[in-house]
Structure 1
Amino acid sequence: MSVKVPSTRTRVGKYELGRTLGEGTFAKVKFAKNVETGDGVAIKILDREQILRLKMVEQLKREISTMKLIKHPNVIKIYEVMASKSKIYIVLEFVDGGELFDKIASRGRLKEDEARRYFQQLINAVDYCHSRGVSHRDLKPENLLLDSYGVLKVSDFGLSAVLSKQVQGDGLLHTACGTPNYVAPEVLKDKGYDGTGSDVWSCGVILFVLMAGYLPFDEPNLMGLYRKICSADFAFPSWFSSGARKLIKRILDPNPVTVSSRAHPCYCF
């Protein structure tokens, strides 16, 4: 008679680890089940030794404290943080609809109504983060997740800045970071930048990508890309409505004199 051996799943606290959802340079994200409630969560697993070696302790602390500060329906929730001798575990809300990026990659451009719906959710989340003194600094479709109801969730606060702690004497941020195609011109110029305005620029690029199915600024050569960004050298596809064109033009404004107004445009179209 064969005896069925029960499968042993790895447990971390009250969570039973399951499949891998994603893997990055510094972390692995796994699906897990809360054995007490049966609810699914996502657990970001980081190697302590690697975090120390790469001097990422402060960045990780900032990411965790920032996420604890942000409680908004369009931002990924953080539930708890645990640690073992070798690993750090960040327990997050599980979002089952994948990245917004995947949706564009598989379907191409979205209809304006659908793009508008996602953009409004993104702007609501970003506006809330700014009201709490937080600048995300790496907004892009890969960091926007969707749940099964189509609700957008902003994730990955690894490059975020808490403005009260990280601005310098001139009231500006000075660390250039983000993903090149989505970065605002003032971030590239190395003279300091307003984190709220640079986030909104990234939102404008995202809106263009949602509606066009491709990037407004895209060059194989980095210097060529930066030149295009700094002069806002892009063209609208024929199918963009006049309202969408007007809003994107207002957001993707590289003029340093008017950049402060970018942080507070009317976001409707």
Structure 2
Amino acid sequence: QPNIKRRIGKYEVGRTIGEGSFAKVKFARNCDTGQAVAIKILDKDMVLKHKMAEQIRREIATMKLINHPNVVRLYEVMASRTKIFIVLEFVGGGELFDKIANHGRMGEDEARKYFQHLINAVDYCHSRGVFHRDLKLENLLMDDAGNLKVSDFGLSAFFQEARDDGLLHTACGTPNYVAPEVLNDHGYEGAIADIWSCGVILFVLLAGYLPFDESNVIDLYRKISCAEYTCPPWLPFGAAKLIARILEPNP
């Protein structure tokens, strides 16, 4: 029995390399060039019931133009009758989340390098009107050379809605990384929310754990709303000051 490979467009699809609540990610290869890619597969129903088609089209058009060393490239988007396929750059070095989970907190120099990569990526995308809205360690990948690559930029529109007031609603973000104004659902600016998440990420890189981490969601939201967290004694003074400036509950 020959091994019949599944094809999506010009891509030969292989193993599943990731799975989330909204999407499955598969390893694939471009049959024309041999280039390795990752294909994120979404159910069309999930997306269309959010009535986000217009914003998705806009963000994806922008993402196709974005070419930055610290942002996972988006090559193309295809659709079948029931699925949407997002073809992305394949990044082989794993998640920053696993690095911290397995090896603990980072030294100041290493954390500074990754934070710099993160801010470069965020600044570049924001300057082009693309926001992330769900920045967390699980979305920060590393390539084989140890460079940070932010994944899912511009894709949060799939799980969001912008209302008539022009602000974004529905907290799609992971609660521990989410800014107070996102939790309050008064609508929020994508840029401000992303910067808050960067502050949480910097804390985790240097501390080895989350600044806001309660099993009870009510307690978690309360602590985030007033930015109630404690820096461990080993946190460098400069970093602690920067984190305090970022994690400002009333920006």
Task: Report the TM-score, using the length of structure 1 for normalisation.
Answer: 0.83
Answer yes or no: is 1:224 the counterpart of 2:228: no
Answer yes or no: is 1:158 the counterpart of 2:155: yes
Displacement of 1:24 in angstroms is 1.9
- Aligned residue among 239, 260, 267 for 2:234: 239
- Local SS of the residue matching 2:63: helix
- Aligned residue among 145, 148, 152 for 2:144: 148
- Aligned residue among 26, 31, 40 for 1:30: 26
Structure 2: give runs of 5+ residues left out of the alignment: none
Give CA-to-partner distance per residue, 1:130-174, whole Å, 9 cap, x none: 11122211000011111111111111233259xxx95865x7444
> Residue in 1 aligned with 2:84?
88
2:167 & 2:78 partners in 1: Cα distance? 34
Write the letter of the residue equivalent to 2:117: Q
> Residue in 1 aligned with 2:246?
251
Displacement of 1:125 in angstroms is 0.7
> Residue in 1 aligned with 2:70?
74
* Distance change >3 Å, CA 199–CA 220, structure 1 → 2: same
Displacement of 1:85 in angstroms is 2.9
The question of whether the paired residues in 2 share the 8 Å contact of 1:59 and 1:158 is answered with no
Q: How many residues align?
A: 248
Write the letter of the residue equivalent to 1:253: E
Q: Percent identity?
A: 67
The question of whether the paired residues in 2 share the 8 Å contact of 1:81 and 1:90 is answered with yes
Write the letter of the residue equivalent to 1:21: I
1:33 & 1:211 partners in 2: Cα distance? 37
Displacement of 1:241 in angstroms is 1.0
Displacement of 1:69 in angstroms is 4.6
1:192 & 1:53 partners in 2: Cα distance? 20
2:222 & 2:133 partners in 1: Cα distance? 20
2:2 & 2:45 partners in 1: Cα distance? 33
Displacement of 1:177 in angstroms is 3.3
Displacement of 1:71 in angstroms is 2.7
> Residue in 2 aligned with 1:104?
100
The question of whether the paired residues in 2 share the 8 Å contact of 1:22 and 1:29 is answered with yes
Answer yes or no: is 1:210 the counterpart of 2:190: no
- What's the C-alpha RMSD, in Å, of the aligned pairs? 2.4
Displacement of 1:209 in angstroms is 0.5
Give CA-to-partner distance per residue, 1:3-38, whole Å, 9 cap, x none: xx5422112222111111111223211111112211
Rg (Cα) greater in structure: 1
The question of whether the paired residues in 2 share the 8 Å contact of 1:97 and 1:147 is answered with yes
1:14 & 1:144 partners in 2: Cα distance? 27
> Residue in 2 aligned with 1:182?
177
The question of whether the paired residues in 2 share the 8 Å contact of 1:62 and 1:158 is answered with no
- Local SS of the residue matching 1:246: helix
Give CA-to-partner distance per residue, 1:170-220, whole Å, 9 cap, x none: x74444331111111122233333321221110000000011110001111
- Aligned residue among 10, 13, 17 for 2:13: 17
Answer yes or no: is 1:116 the counterpart of 2:125: no
The question of whether the paired residues in 1 share the 8 Å contact of 2:11 and 2:31 is answered with yes
Task: Report the TM-score, using the length of structure 2 for normalisation.
Answer: 0.89
Write the letter of the residue equivalent to 1:231: C
